[in-house]
């Protein structure tokens, strides 16, 4: 007998570890809409397996809770059962010896409190309120309802133009979205149950690269109705595209000198080259949409008032976006060398590229816009670019690949530093950013908050400071025109109508606050449908593209093909597109991974895909 | 053409064919449960699985399209075992009480289980308890449901009502009324298409036979005179329950069987179908005289499912329904007035029973303002389905084949050829046109030829239209069956794409012959065949025109006076706005409520 021996994992334990990994992925890809009682009951069973069996509340209490939950699910429970569940779970939470029991008890309490109506439905009418709204997870998660399995299948068969046409049925920005969409569609991809989600944005990229220029469908019969769209960003142009297709005449009013909104003035060219964005815009304009650039809304010279538009047009869609910057509110913010993200990216949008050669740049913020600024500053030739953020890197809201990309290009992420003040020289030029070092602390609302670290303030010498802490909406002209404005955003219903203002609709960032392009596009689509109805029509947007039958071969586990970028050392010197295209071979392999939830599973129920809207 | 191999034999089929259809083309019968062609091809039950050469995972025959070079094996041990296990799993949640089950003998689960040699199941039985047994014509027993979702698809796709839906999630997912409603608070029209497409009797029509049979039943109450009427479509289908042809199981044997059960008077709804034509035809011609005073088209009102549909989906069009009651309700009104007087019996002592191919007829008898004949009693007391009638005949141990043919009783037992075609799509329109022609021209048209164009049974279009010029008056007519098609027609009318004067609507595919009360045959649509039987009855009848029915003429002379006269309005017409239907789940965008 030896005194000690080296720990070794048993074979069974290795298998179980693998099962845990599989279940982690499975949970992360859970469709929304699952019965909360059923989910809690399942989680509870998992908790029971983890009980060491020592203390009473955990060993016996969780077992009892499980029995009681089954009664609720089977429709044999009464309101008394709920009281017993509550009492038992509270006792477990308060008296279990360790977190295994206590956290399980708390989970049941959170579920019972937060989903009380669902529990009551099971008890009172033996019915479940839950309704799976994710029969095709990617489509359900796409704000614009794009037929994703459809176009992936088309890409798999190299029918790229058909794929673009299919995307345009729901989204007239296939090119822009192929490059910059945040792809919420991938979040719950069922393929995750097997290995990893499909690279859906990559599939769209393959479609637009393979298709070239695809003309829009034929316009429907002219109706004689005129619609004004205020704001030529993704939301306004989407509404314009569909309304024009439906036979109405749309005029887009844009305050800047070019169309595209945040796609041009918010997203730097190295992610979305202007000529590629122009492909989408050209397609939209080719239907006959009229455009008035450099026209602001207002009552001043060269401006057009809201009232005037309401009089001249049968309907108005307001999609002015969120182009006002938020202030840091620290000393020295007015200094020369301090600029906002909106200012920097806006100038780049008008092809005025800044020259940061020989400069040290601090970008303040942790979102995707901060990353855009960081990487643009690098491309503008800055000597050194630091991104200053008050929480940890893992708390940043920017996509991980954006952060990693910026780091690869040489950006330094200065985490856990909150801006304190801006130091200037005698000529009011920025000389440094003073920060307050933080340490991470208590979790509030799901996010850990930065708290005082007790360390001394630090000085980060720099010449340029870019503030990227969010945008706001310039809603004043609308408020003046009598439209409801709430906390700086225009108040509109989910169907984009503005209550009390006949014939005026609103959507996109100006209603939601700064959000993603695809959400703005979705709002434009919703607005088009409802404006069409408001004008007394019921045009349907439809498309006859045969979707390939699904492949019946057994599914092999297969890694996800990610997008590749030009080498960091090369791409950081220019504003040209940094993402590389997929090869046809890669695109086909990735398309072949799609599980075709439009055919298998609940996606085929009630006739399957939405053919029209 | 696509070439594939099935069980190593080369097979050629058209492109787009499913594996199931290809197998059937070569005589291989693959079992199915959830499959309903074109309507429910969702591969849920996994009973039709077959093996695709080279692949581990089995594929479903029902919704997989063939391709060149495909090699299919339909009955390998792996396939057999998967099929058997899946059927056993379904049986574990299906409360098997076959001897007392309404679907005994026609149940598809029973058929599949016995064909797969399943004698006992290995699984622990677990039945769901969420049963829906409200006092509504359509009832549901969750402990029988195998969750094939055919009912959901039929209601959604064929009838465009979406009353049923998947309810809940996970292992306890089942079928329930959509949007958390109860069925009686929903816009269910009670057409019963979900029932006739349910493979296992989880969905059924309320059984009202107990009100008649048994010691306390009306048939055994000496104080009661029990009168029965049988709808046209019943005679075309009732024999199916006995495995008899419609020639053997004809209307005369049906009359004999009903008499043998113990009904005191055996009458025919055809009589009031002719009466309906007199009333509805006159109403139509009256409306045509002042076209500017009316909204068009005028819709027929014989089908209670359709009336419920229009009231819930397009309430602003209810005034366009003919005010004429349905033949069932006219029969009840005449029975409890004219007939009661004739036999000198208090209407309260008459039990008026109807046998209908329909489940919505039960709801029709319960419309609050439908009873006009006598105070304190319903015009029609009990509406039975064809299936209920067949069960009563069976329970009375009647050997149908051995029965001699008997005539219907008089005076409410005579019907013309125009009346018997009421049971099929286009029939009401044709019958009405035959009589309108006579009124306008003074002559009878050719019963066989003149209005043939409205016979819609074989049409593959959503609806059939025909324009007639009678004596200088142009009449635009349309005939539509199934509520999905009716919705299409209404949308076309509302948008101005179509214009008609007179539209016949029947809620069930093929008309009443395909009704929700008719005998059930898994995955067989028999409406067209039954319709042909009715046209044969029409052709063989010596009277082809409603206005020539002598008993109807007698009724007018002795009692009613004239069509659409004072007495008719009291007894034979109704106010469709006098009762409420729960509103529709979703409206067409132009419908204002």
The verdict on a CB contact (< 8 Å) between A128 and B167 is yes
CB A189 within 8 A of CB A200: yes
Q: How many domains does the structure of chain B reveal?
A: 3
Instruction: Pick A549's closest partner by Cβ from B43, B65, B149.
Output: B65
For residues B9 and B150, membership in a common domain is answered with no
pLDDT of B131 reads: 59
The verdict on a CB contact (< 8 Å) between B56 and A554 is yes
Domain termination site, one of B80, B115, B150: B115
In chain A, which residues have their Cβ closer than 8 Å to the Cβ of B41? Answer: 604
Q: Is the peptide bond before B411 cis (omega within 30 degrees of 0)?
A: yes
For residues B75 and B187, membership in a common domain is answered with no
For residues B151 and B252, membership in a common domain is answered with no
Give every CB contact of residue B299 below 8 A, 6+ residues apart in sequence. B306, B310, B317, B320, B321, B322, B503, B504, B505
Dihedral sign for Cα B452, B455, B459, B465, please: positive
Count of CB pairs separated by less than 8 Å, A with B? 72
Tokens of A603: 């996606």
List, edge to edge, every strand of the sheet that includes B463-470: B298-299, B502-506, B473-481, B463-470
CB A68 within 8 A of CB A81: yes
Q: Which of residues 437-496 of B touch A (CB under 8 A)?
A: 495
For residues B336 and B228, membership in a common domain is answered with yes
pLDDT of A126 reads: 78
For residues B72 and B92, membership in a common domain is answered with yes
pLDDT of B132 reads: 59
Identify the residue among A31, A72, A549 best suited for mutation to test binding to B, counting B beta carbons within 10 A and taking the highest.
A549
Residue pointed to by tokens 């939601």: A512
Using CA coordinates, name the residue in chain B closest to A32. Answer: B169
- Structural domains of chain A, with CATH: 34-124 (1.20.1440.230), 137-214+549-607 (1.10.1060), 226-322+473-534 (3.50.50.60), 325-471 (3.50.50.60)
Domain termination site, one of B390, B415, B440: B415
In chain A, which residues have their Cβ closer than 8 Å to the Cβ of B495? Answer: 538
Q: Does a structural domain hold residue B104?
A: yes
Q: Which of residues 489-508 of B touch A (CB under 8 A)?
A: 495
Q: Does a structural domain hold residue B309?
A: no
Name the pTM for this structure. 0.89
- C-alpha B162/C-alpha B194 separation (Å) is 11
- The stretches in chain A having pLDDT less than 50 are none
Structural domain of B174? 138-205
Q: Does a structural domain hold residue B122?
A: no
* Collapsed DSSP state (helix, strand, coil) of residue A284: helix
- The stretches in chain B having pLDDT less than 70 are 122, 129-133, 586-593
Q: Does a structural domain hold residue B512?
A: no
The verdict on a CB contact (< 8 Å) between A130 and B63 is no
For residues B58 and B150, membership in a common domain is answered with no
pLDDT digits (tens, 9 = 90+) for A195-214: 999 999 999 999 999 999 99
The verdict on a CB contact (< 8 Å) between A128 and B169 is yes
The CA distances from residue B561 to B375, B432, B517, B565, B567, in Å, are 22, 20, 35, 7, 7
SS (H, E, C) A199-232: CHHHHHHHHHHHHCCCCCCCCCCCCCCEEEEECC
Q: What DSSP letter does each residue of B493-544 carry, written as one string?
A: HHTTS---SEEEEESSTTSGGG-TTSPP-TT---HHHHHHHHHHHHHH-S--
Tokens of B411: 């005076």
For residues B187 and B332, membership in a common domain is answered with no
pLDDT of B38 reads: 93
Domain termination site, one of B184, B205, B226: B205
Q: What region, left, alpha or beta, does residue B384 occupy, with left being phi > 0 and alpha being psi -120 to 50 degrees? A: beta
For residues B394 and B257, membership in a common domain is answered with yes
For residues B341 and B215, membership in a common domain is answered with yes
User: Which candidate, A518, A234, A475, A516, places its Cα nearest to that of A369?
Assistant: A516
For residues B54 and B167, membership in a common domain is answered with no
For residues B14 and B79, membership in a common domain is answered with yes
The verdict on a CB contact (< 8 Å) between B166 and A38 is no
Instruction: Pick A38's closest partner by Cβ from B56, B156, B169.
Output: B169
CATH number for position B142: 3.30.70.20
In chain B, which residues have their Cβ closer than 8 Å to the Cβ of A75? Answer: 129-130
Residue pointed to by tokens 């005082």: A452
The verdict on a CB contact (< 8 Å) between A549 and B170 is no
CATH number for position B259: 3.40.50.1780
- C-alpha A302/C-alpha A308 separation (Å) is 13
Q: Does a structural domain hold residue B143?
A: yes
For residues B195 and B237, membership in a common domain is answered with no
């Amino acid at each position: 007998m030896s005194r000690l021996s080296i720990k070794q994992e048993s074979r069974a334990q290795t298998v179980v570890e693998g099962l845990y990994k599989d279940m982690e992925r499975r949970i992360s890809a859970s469709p929304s809409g699952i019965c909360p009682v059923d989910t809690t009951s399942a989680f509870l069973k998992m908790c029971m397996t983890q009980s060491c069996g020592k203390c009473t509340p955990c060993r016996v209490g969780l077992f009892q809770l499980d029995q009681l939950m089954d009664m609720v699910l089977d429709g044999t429970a009464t309101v008394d059962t709920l009281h017993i569940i509550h009492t038992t779970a509270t006792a477990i939470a308060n008296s279990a010896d360790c977190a295994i029991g206590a956290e399980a008890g708390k989970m049941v309490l959170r579920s019972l409190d937060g989903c009380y109506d669902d529990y009551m439905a099971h008890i009172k009418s033996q019915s479940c309120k839950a309704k799976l709204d994710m029969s095709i997870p990617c489509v359900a998660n796409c704000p614009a309802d794009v037929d994703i399995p459809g176009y992936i299948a088309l890409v798999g068969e190299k029918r790229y133009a058909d794929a673009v046409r299919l995307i345009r049925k729901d989204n007239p920005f296939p090119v822009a979205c192929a490059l910059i969409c945040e792809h919420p569609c991938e979040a719950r991809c069922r393929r995750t149950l097997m290995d990893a989600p499909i690279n859906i944005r990559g599939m769209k990229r393959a479609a637009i690269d393979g298709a070239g220029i695809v003309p829009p469908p034929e316009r429907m019969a002219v109706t004689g109705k005129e619609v004004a769209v205020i704001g030529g960003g993704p939301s306004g142009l989407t509404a314009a595209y569909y309304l024009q297709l439906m036979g109405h005449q749309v005029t887009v009013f844009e305050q800047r000198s070019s169309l595209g909104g945040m796609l041009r003035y918010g997203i730097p060219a190295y992610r979305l080259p202007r000529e590629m964005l122009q492909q989408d815009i050209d397609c939209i304009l080719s239907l006959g949409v009229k455009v008035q650039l450099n026209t602001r809304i207002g009552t001043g010279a060269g401006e057009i008032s809201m009232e005037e538009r309401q009089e001249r047009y049968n309907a108005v869609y307001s999609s002015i976006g969120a182009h006002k910057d938020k202030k840091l509110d620290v000393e020295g913010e007015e200094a020369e060398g301090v600029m906002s993200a909106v200012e920097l990216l806006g100038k780049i949008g008008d092809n005025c590229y800044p020259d940061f050669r020989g400069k040290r740049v601090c970008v303040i913020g942790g979102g995707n816009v901060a990353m855009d600024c960081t990487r643009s500053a690098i491309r503008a030739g800055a000597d050194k670019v630091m991104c200053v953020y008050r929480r940890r890197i893992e708390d940043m809201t920017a996509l991980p690949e954006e952060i990693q990309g910026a780091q690869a290009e040489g950006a330094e992420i200065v985490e856990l530093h909150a801006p304190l003040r801006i130091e200037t020289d005698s000529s009011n030029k920025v000389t440094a950013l003073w920060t307050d070092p933080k340490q991470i602390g208590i979790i509030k609302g799901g996010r850990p908050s930065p708290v005082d670290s007790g360390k001394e303030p630090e000085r980060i010498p720099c010449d340029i400071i870019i503030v990227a802490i969010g945008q706001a909406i310039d809603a004043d002209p609308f408020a003046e025109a009598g439209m409801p404005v709430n906390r700086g955003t225009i108040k509109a219903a989910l169907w984009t109508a503005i209550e009390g203002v006949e014939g005026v609709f609103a959507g996109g960032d100006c209603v939601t606050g700064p959000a993603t392009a695809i959400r703005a596009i979705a709002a434009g689509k919703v607005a088009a449908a409802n404006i069409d109805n408001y004008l007394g029509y019921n045009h349907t947007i439809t498309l006859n593209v045969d979707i390939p039958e699904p492949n019946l071969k057994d599914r092999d586990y297969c890694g996800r093909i990610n997008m590749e970028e030009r080498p960091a050392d090369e791409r950081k010197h220019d504003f040209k597109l940094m993402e590389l295209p997929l090869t046809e071979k890669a695109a086909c392999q990735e398309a072949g991974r799609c599980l075709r939830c439009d055919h298998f599973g609940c996606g085929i129920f009630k006739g399957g895909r939405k053919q029209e809207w | 053409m696509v070439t594939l191999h099935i069980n190593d034999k080369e097979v050629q089929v058209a492109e787009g064919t499913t594996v199931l259809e290809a197998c059937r083309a070569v005589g291989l019968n693959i079992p199915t449960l959830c499959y309903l062609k074109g309507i429910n091809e969702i591969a849920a039950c996994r009973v039709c699985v077959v093996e695709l050469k080279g692949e581990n995972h089995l594929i479903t025959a029902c919704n997989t399209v063939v391709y060149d070079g495909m090699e299919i094996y339909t009955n390998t041990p792996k396939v057999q075992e998967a099929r058997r296990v899946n059927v056993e799993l379904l049986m574990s949640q299906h409360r098997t009480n076959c001897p007392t089950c309404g679907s005994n003998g026609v149940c598809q689960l029973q058929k599949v289980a016995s064909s797969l040699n399943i004698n006992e199941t290995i699984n622990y039985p677990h039945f769901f308890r969420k049963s829906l047994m409200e006092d509504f014509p359509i009832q549901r027993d969750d402990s029988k449901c195998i969750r094939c979702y055919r009912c959901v698809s039929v209601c959604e796709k064929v009838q465009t009502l979406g009353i049923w839906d998947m309810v809940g999630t996970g292992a306890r997912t089942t079928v329930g009324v959509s949007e958390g409603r109860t069925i009686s608070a929903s816009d269910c029209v009670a057409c019963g298409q979900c029932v006739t497409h349910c493979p296992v009797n989880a969905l059924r029509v309320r059984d009202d036979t107990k009100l008649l049979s048994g010691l306390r039943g009306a048939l055994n109450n000496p104080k009661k005179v029990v009168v029965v009427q049988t709808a046209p479509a019943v005679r075309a289908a009732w024999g199916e329950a006995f495995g008899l042809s419609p020639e053997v199981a004809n209307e005369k044997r049906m009359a004999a069987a009903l008499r043998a059960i113990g009904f005191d008077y055996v009458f025919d709804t055809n009589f009031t179908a002719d009466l309906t034509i007199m009333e509805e035809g006159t109403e139509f011609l009256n409306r045509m005289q002042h076209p500017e005073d009316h909204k068009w088209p005028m819709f027929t009102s014989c089908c209670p499912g359709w009336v419920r549909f229009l009231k819930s989906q397009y309430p602003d069009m209810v005034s366009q329904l003919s005010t004429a009651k349905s033949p069932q309700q006219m029969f009840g009104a005449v029975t409890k007035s004219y007939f009661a007087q004739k036999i000198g019996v208090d209407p309260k002592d008459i039990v008026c029973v109807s046998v209908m191919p329909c489940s919505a007829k039960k709801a029709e008898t319960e419309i609050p303002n439908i009873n006009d004949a006598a105070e304190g009693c319903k015009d029609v007391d009990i509406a039975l389905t064809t299936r209920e009638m067949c069960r009563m005949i069976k329970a009375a141990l009647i050997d149908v084949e051995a029965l001699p043919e008997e005539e219907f009783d008089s005076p409410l037992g005579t019907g013309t050829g125009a009346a018997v075609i009421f049971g099929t799509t286009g029939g009401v329109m044709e019958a009405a046109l035959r009589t309108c022609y006579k009124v306008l021209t003074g002559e009878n048209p050719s019963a066989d030829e003149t209005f043939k164009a409205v016979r819609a049974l074989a049409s593959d279009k959503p609806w059939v239209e025909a324009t007639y010029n009678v004596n200088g008056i142009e009449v635009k007519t349309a005939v539509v069956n199934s509520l999905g098609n009716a919705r299409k027609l209404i949308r076309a009318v509302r948008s101005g794409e179509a214009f008609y004067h007179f539209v016949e609507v029947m809620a069930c595919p093929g008309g009443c012959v395909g009704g929700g009360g008719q005998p059930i045959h898994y995955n067989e649509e028999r409406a067209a065949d039954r319709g042909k039987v009715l046209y044969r009855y029409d052709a063989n009848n010596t009277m082809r025109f409603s206005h020539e029915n002598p008993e109807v003429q007698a009724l007018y002379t002795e009692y009613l006076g004239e069509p659409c006269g004072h007495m008719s309005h009291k007894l034979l017409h109704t106010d469709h706005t006098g009762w409420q239907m729960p509103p529709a789940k979703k409206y067409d965008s132009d419908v204002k409520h």
